[in-house]
Structure 1
Amino acid sequence: MRESASGGGGRSYLFDNASAHARGQHRCLAGWLDRISIGELSRVGVQPGMSCLDVGAGAGSIAVWLADQVGPGGSVLATDLVPLPMADRPALTVLRHDVVRDALPETAFDLVHVRLVLSHLPEREAVLARLFAALRPGGVLHLLEFDAEYAPVLTVPDERAGDLYRRYQQAKLRAFRTRGSEQGWGRRCAAAMVRAGFVGVEASPHLDTLGPGTPQLEMQVHNTWHLREALLREGLTDDELAELRALFTDPMFRACSNVVYAVHGRRP
């Protein structure tokens, strides 16, 4: 695995890969979302010899999977503002890269995969245009994004717990919105792809249950640590965050996940 540096931009993200909690966050996301991403990518078609780009690759679970599918004749370029260590593959190159500011080669890729990145970028539609240009004619862009505005609680041990969970969800939304994130973008990204010139755009919604022992709920535990400073600024207290962590172990607790939208389209 080869690593080089380019740009990096210096923007501050709430989910910072330099955080001590980043590894746990990515592990939970992989446990929840990899089956969706791999299922959708397999349906679209990943073939040996393809050239792939994985933007915001994080710990690299999808980049490594892609490298196993396309190698040895293909290649995968995995990029992130702060790349995390990932499994070594001959077909895999890791690059420190800011997709907003740093150049991408044009007409270079057969497949581009982007998961939970564009909703956090105020420049998301300009980045879509850059990703369109980076694809070869006939190449496919695959996005996976949340509609984080949908996250209903289902069962809780008491009314106070339900109210606290709802306030926690609203505090998270406010914290992201102050950084320019569009937390409902998952349900709008298919239309954005059509505006960007993609054809054959398809969107598949996915829902899961958050319950004790699931990676979906374990991710919420990580969020109470990873986003602690932002959540305190939005009105929660450390005692309430501790109460949430206890709630997330209660067998009575169940909530619906955000809607996960898997969207793909092709450059004509």
Structure 2
Amino acid sequence: MRSTDTAAPESADTGGYLFDNDAVDAAEQVRLLAAMLDGDTTAVLADLGIADDWRCLDLGAGAGTVSAWLADRLGASGHVTVVDEKPQHVVARDGMTVVAGDVNTTDLGRDRYDLIHARFLFMHLPRRERVLERAVAALKPGGVLVVTDCDASRRGDMLVVAPDPVAEVFTAFQDALTGIGVGNGMDPAWARRIPAAMRDAGLVDVSARVTNRLWAGGEAGMLLHDSISRQVEDGLLARGMDLAALTALREAMHDPDVWAYSWPVYTGVGVRPTP
């Protein structure tokens, strides 16, 4: 079942998001993110021992690949709800309801879900702790919250092999991109605080893992920079980059002799305590 209805909003307090699913390059961006991250995400989720009858919530689902993975593992009594402000890249299917809604304001309910998952979402929310508290309240006692974000505060450690002009452009791009995000309410260092935030929100049995890998030009982790640079080109130009530099960056992201790590990816897991 696919739905575009939303529950009554709790407030009008929203924050801007760095990317727009209506952008020309948005479909490519969410596809690349899925290619980069799904293996690690599904490994974490598989360790939870998902039961056939679980009720799951996927916040900010992107391409919807994690939602689909969950739906494949549920029985007829299980269900996945997707909440995304612009969910046009999510393909609805049996056992899944897709809701067009802003996670800042959409009512998530209480004591409703066995699992709530969010990836590359909370770091962009100006009032992320409030949304986290609402997500915890939406869990059933014993339910599990899984939050994944990247640490964009250590940008100087990313590039491994590249000619000098590319190194300078790559660093300028990362700095400008982060500046745009911060201007929209993003916290580049939030990912490292996920476990503490989960504890402060009342979750127990909190654990976390950090993953990263080396990417070569032409692979998903590098092509993502090309895609992002096109989506936020106006903002990059406003922060001092020029078209020649962006062209050099984009060409380098396809060069197999240019290597870089992605941003370190932190995944926190916490459980709502039972009475």
Q: Normalising by the residue count of structure 2, what TM-score does the alignment of the two structures yield?
A: 0.93
Q: Residue 15 of structure 2 contacts residue 126 of structure 2 at CA under 8 Å; is this kept in 1? A: no
The correspondence of residues 1-268 of structure 1 with structure 2, limited to 5 A, is: 1-6=1-6, 12-151=16-155, 152-157=158-163, 159-268=164-273
1:199 offset after TM fit, Å? Answer: 0.5
Secondary structure of 2:115's aligned partner: strand
Paired-residue identity, %:
34
Distance in 1 between residues matched to 2:243 and 2:98, nearest whole Å:
37
Structure 2 CA distance, aligned partners of 1:4 and 1:81?
10
Q: Secondary structure at the match of 1:45?
A: coil
CA deviations on 1:35-70 (whole Å, 9 max, x unpaired) are 011000001221211000000012211111111111
Residue 218 of structure 1 deviates from its aligned partner by: 1.0
Amino acid at match of 1:3: S
More divergent stretch after superposition (233-242 vs 132-141): 233-242
CA-CA distance at 1:249 after TM superposition: 2.1
Displacement of 1:23 after TM fit?
0.4
**How far is the alpha carbon of 1:167 from its aligned partner?**
1.0
- The runs of 4+ residues in structure 1 deviating greater than 4 Å are 7-11
Paired residues, number = 267
CA-CA distance at 1:262 after TM superposition: 1.3
Which deviates more, 205-214 or 136-145? 205-214
> CA 1:77/1:249 → structure 2, altered by over 3 Å: closer, same or farther?
same
Q: The residue matched to 1:188 in structure 2 has which SS? A: helix
Amino acid at match of 1:226: Q
The answer to whether the Cα contact below 8 Å between 1:145 and 1:186 also exists between their aligned partners in 2 is yes
Q: Could you say what secondary structure the match of 1:136 adopts?
A: strand
Unaligned runs of 5+ in 1: none
- Which consecutive residues of structure 2, in runs of 5 or more, have no partner in the other structure? none
Q: 1:11: how far off?
A: 5.2
**For the residues of structure 2 that align with 1:122 and 1:11, how far apart are their CA atoms?**
6
Question: 1:95 aligns to what SS in structure 2?
Answer: strand
Counterpart residue identity of residue 3, structure 2: E
SS at match of 1:52: strand
Query: 1: distance between equivalents of 2:75 and 2:22?
Result: 30
- Give the Cα separation in 2 of the matches to 1:256 and 1:86: 28
Greater alpha carbon shift after TM alignment, 142-151 vs 85-94: 85-94
What value does the CA root-mean-square deviation take over the aligned residues? 1.5
